[in-house]
Structure 1
Amino acid sequence: MQLEWLEDFIELARTRSLSRAAQNRCVTHPAFGRRIKALEDWFGVALIERKQPLSLTPAGLLFLEAASHSLGLLNNARAQFQTVGSSRDEPVRIATGRTLASHFFPDWYESLNRRFGAFPVSLVTSGSQEAIARVSAGEVDLLLIFSSPLTRILLDSDRFDSLVLAREQMVPVSAPDSQGLPRFQIRSGAGASSVPWLAFAPTLALRGVLAQHLAALPQRLALRMSYQADSYESILQMAKRGAGLAWLPHMVVDTALKAGELVLAGGAEMAIGFDISLHRSRSNQAERVMRIWHGLVEDALITGN
């Protein structure tokens, strides 16, 4: 068995698509399929149900947990061996999303430098599922992410420590009309005409947060998806152009709201609170990572977060 087979299987479990997983792993579809078959032959049982939609067998679910845990331990051990004698120069590896990298990370990193002294960091951005896979596989030390149903499902509390760093809101926004009122307003009820909606792609962490909020409303909103993107900034630009109604993190729309390019399109009951959180695999005991983590935990206890 080869370690890359474990990485292949984890990617397949994440995407639930042989073609997408093969593309993400930079191999051809047939070659990827042969790797998965070789892994099943080595394991002695079928790991996936070869039907649409693709799913894992009970053995596959068991193997996924074992593969993620084993690969994380091996990657952490390799990283520790590679940094012997030079750990002070090794950057702290952080996975996050593009929006947090732009709107939250710079100020937060400055606060860490003031709190713990200057230290190098290696920041990698991606969609939420890929970022979660990186911390699960031990490719990064910390995961900075919008908390969502996805993070609660994929980040096992037995394997990961989690810490809330800040509280944020997602608000409904629209381009203004000639009178400064929302061009698109939230409507509900059976007789309401549908409103074009700028939606989140499945790879965005906040998709699940928004879906839960909309499902819990007393009346179904009359929304018609007219645009979908895997970038909050792309949705922001479409909202500013008047393409539809959008829910976006306040940190993303703050400047546009102040400039009058967007206006709030709903009351306080339509705002959705969520957390910005930090996660660490308990198997990662790197000295600098642990010093930062324990310091942040102490700060949270003092402030009551």
Structure 2
Amino acid sequence: MHLVWLEDFIELARTRSFSRAAENRFVTHPAFGRRIKALEQWVGAELVTRTQPVTLTRAGKLFLDAAHNSVDVLYAARAQLQESSAETEKVLRLATGRTLSQTFFPDWYEGIKQHCGVFPVSITTGGAQDVIMKLAAGEADILLIYSSPATRMLIDHQRYESQTIAHELLLPVSAPDKRGKPLYRLDAKAGAMPWLAFSQTLTLRGVLAKHLAELEQKPALKMVYQADSYESIQEMAVRGTGVAWLPQRLVHKDIAEGRLLVVGEQNLRIRFDVSLYRVRGSTNELVNAIWNYAATGAGPR
């Protein structure tokens, strides 16, 4: 029996939907169904009825309490052991996006060192869902992430607390032509512009989509390239492949040195937050010191 099966069953009991629970657990519907079936075989009884909505059988209701208790006890024991080890070694385990690890974390870490002293850091990078799962699995002490409605929905706010530590701008940019003018302009007269788009795994896809949907006059865009890496989109924008929205910290050197130009009206520049998350009630002294430092508003904003 795997712990993940218990977590799957708890999520299914909460959502009462195989498809919704599978989505929340970041697995395909068929794979999720097989895991629930495997749990039932291990228990030796049917736990749910395959109806719409899903309901628990009598055995399922009894087993749900046991699943909750088991998961809580195991995670509590794991957290206690990991925090004890982390306090001894004073290693900060941080999960974050690839771009934030490059553009934001280094300057922020310098400020933390001045406040908390020198300490080692182990960084794990990945897509938003990947790093959120690292925090949920107890494999990260702190999550540093771009904030969006989608990421906030994926994080259990009863179990984790957050704070905004910086603000960022999503800028529409284009490579210049030979005269130093934008290759692509975002205005009604310009027609459909080739667009370098974010894939669904990138947090800022939802931020951009929501902002554009709320505009009275939307720019005409034709997707010619899509990637799950802001750096990949940045490179294609510099090469003149199309217009792109990219974080200001990522492209500020390109803009300063003339490789990219900010285009469009002011209302096409999108403000969003950089946020920290941690487990509520953490007793890790290093995590608490960093959390309190961040709460002072010090560091890059």
TM-score, length basis structure 2? 0.81
Tell me whether 1:237 sits opposite 2:235 in the alignment. Answer: yes
TM-aligned CA distance change 1:82 to 1:240, over 3 Å: closer
Tell me how far apart the structure 2 counterparts of residues 6 and 263 of structure 1 sit (CA, whole Å): 51
TM-aligned CA distance change 1:160 to 1:272, over 3 Å: same
Q: Aligned residues, how many?
A: 280
Partner of 1:36: 36
Tell me whether 1:132 sits opposite 2:135 in the alignment. Answer: no
Tell me how far apart the structure 2 counterparts of residues 150 and 48 of structure 1 sit (CA, whole Å): 28
Tell me how far apart the structure 1 counterparts of residues 173 and 110 of structure 2 sit (CA, whole Å): 30
Question: How far apart are residue 185 of structure 1 and its match?
Answer: 0.9
Partner of 1:26: none
Question: How far apart are residue 18 of structure 1 and its match?
Answer: 4.7
- Superposition map of 1:198-277 within 5 A: 198-277=196-275
Amino acid at match of 1:15: F
Tell me whether 1:87 sits opposite 2:87 in the alignment. Answer: yes
Tell me how far apart the structure 2 counterparts of residues 79 and 46 of structure 1 sit (CA, whole Å): 34
Which consecutive unaligned segments of at least 5 residues does structure 2 have?
12-20
TM-aligned CA distance change 1:85 to 1:68, over 3 Å: same
Question: How far apart are residue 48 of structure 1 and its match?
Answer: 9.8
Tell me whether 1:186 sits opposite 2:189 in the alignment. Answer: no
TM-aligned CA distance change 1:86 to 1:17, over 3 Å: closer
Which consecutive unaligned segments of at least 5 residues does structure 1 have?
20-28, 50-55
TM-aligned CA distance change 1:208 to 1:288, over 3 Å: same
Question: How far apart are residue 272 of structure 1 and its match?
Answer: 0.4
Question: How far apart are residue 210 of structure 1 and its match?
Answer: 0.5
Amino acid at match of 2:226: Q
Question: How far apart are residue 218 of structure 1 and its match?
Answer: 0.4
Question: How far apart are residue 38 of structure 1 and its match?
Answer: 1.6
- Superposition map of 1:105-120 within 5 A: 105-120=105-120
Larger-Rg structure:
2
Partner of 1:147: 147
Partner of 2:28: 17
Alignment RMSD (CA, Å): 3.3
Partner of 2:78: 78
What SS class does the counterpart of residue 5 from structure 1 fall into? helix
Question: How far apart are residue 79 of structure 1 and its match?
Answer: 4.3
Tell me how far apart the structure 2 counterparts of residues 68 and 179 of structure 1 sit (CA, whole Å): 65
TM-score, length basis structure 1? 0.80
Question: What percent of counterpart residues are identical?
Answer: 47
